[in-house]
Amino acid sequence: MTLSKLVLTLVTLVFACTLGGCAVIAVADAAITVAATAVKVTAKTIGAVADAVIPDKNDERRAPD
C-alpha cells in the first residue's frame, strides 16, 4: 500500500468515525426530545385533572344580594 492510499484510508476512517458520532448524538437528542415532550404532556394532563377535581376558592358561587 502506498503512502497516499494509507493517508486517504486514514482520513476516510477518521471522517467515518466523526459521522458515526454525529448519528449517535442525533439519535440521543431525538430520544431526549421525545421523553421531554412526554413528560410535558403528562404534567399538563395531571394539572388539568387536578384543576378539575380540586375546587378553586375563587370559583365558589355566592348567593345573590
Residue 1: inside a domain:
no
Global pTM value: 0.49
Give mean pLDDT, residues 26-37: 89
Residue 62: inside a domain:
no
Alpha helices in 1-65 (DSSP H): 3-53
Residue 48: inside a domain:
yes
Q: How many domains does the chain have?
A: 1
Residue 64: inside a domain:
no
Structural domain that includes position 34: 24-52
CA distances from 17 to 5, 21, 54 (A): 18, 6, 55
Residue 59: inside a domain:
no
pLDDT of 58 higher than 80: no
pLDDT of 63 higher than 70: no
How many residues are recorded in the chain? Answer: 65
Q: How many CB atoms are closer than 10 A to CB 4?
A: 8
What value does the CA radius of gyration of the chain take, rounded to a whole number of Å?
Answer: 29
